[in-house]
Structure 1
Amino acid sequence: MWCKGYPGAYEVFTWSILSTSVGWVRDDIGLGPDNPYVDVKLMSSLLTMDAYIKLGSGSGAIRDVQRWLNATYLHRADFAIVPCDGIYGRAVQTAMLFGLQYEIGMADGVANGNFGPGTREGIRTQATVSQGSTDGAKRFVRLYQAVLRFNRYDSPFTGTRGDRQRGVPRHRQADP
């Protein structure tokens, strides 16, 4: 836990300290602090260098999406916890594709996080998002709003598409 920036036990194993830290981790990745337990996916994520808090160059808007992706799709077999550092990267892009594939109806084991013909056809036939669209059983509006945020548009993340999703991206700084 120390390597991730959360308190652990000092000299003697203290479950109350460790349990509190696990709750904080789960909350930071979007799962809420209740029922602090470590499953295989969380343990795997703890063993990476991924951050669960917004880093200096990260965006709160992107972090909101990262946490939502974890909370929404972690129960799926092939979905892995994504960092919640506010930085758009490869793991987040893969998670977005998994989310899109799940929403178009791909089963676990079929969804693979890659953009191929099945994903393209699913978008074409099912993922229409227009003015006034609202998420219901499918979450295409939030996925659309997430993509806008990843492309530096100042978009709400409400699950309802409104007028504010039109316009130009926020100022884009030159990438190093």
Structure 2
Amino acid sequence: MLTVGDKLPIFDLKSVVSANQSDDFAQINNETDADKWKILFFWPKDFTFVCPTEIAAFGQLNSDFKERNAVIYGISTDSEYVHLAWRQHHPDLNILPFPMLSDIKREFSSALGILHQQEGVCLRATFIVDPQGIIRFVSVNDLSVGRNPHEVLRVLDGLQTEELCPCNWQKGDAVLSVA
């Protein structure tokens, strides 16, 4: 699995950016939002139970990430058409403010090393990538346990200070100084 300090692999994926059929699909790659921090979070399967709780929670924090020059990309191995159907039929995903990317060939998730060995789906992996394309944070959960988007936002805040941030540090708190 790729980790902190590694370069994000090249990717070019179809995505669903809206539940409206007139403007529903877009292509997203490494150059999209090149000057921004990227929050990439992967989930196992569409039309499941834990996944929409995480996706909706990231959606609720989208403006907070945006204020920090960060974009959110949600990704699974389902097709863009499955993503679209899920967005259209799940009330918490209908107005999702970020794209859902399709890694149907499993090339991107394989390059990151986050495919579940038995199931062949993405683990609940989260990556924070800086504007230079360097992975600065990685977290991976078991398939059955959802992640905490507030913690991802807290870590992004800490990374953006470029300072030493103690345990449980929150934006606005004092950072550590080396004496």
> Do they superpose with TM above 0.5?
no
Could you tell me the TM-score, scaled by structure 1's length?
A: 0.28
- Larger fraction in strand: 2
Could you tell me the TM-score, scaled by structure 2's length?
A: 0.28
Higher Rg of the two aligned structures: 1
> Relative contact order (alpha carbons < 8 A, sep ≥ 6): 1 or 2 greater?
2
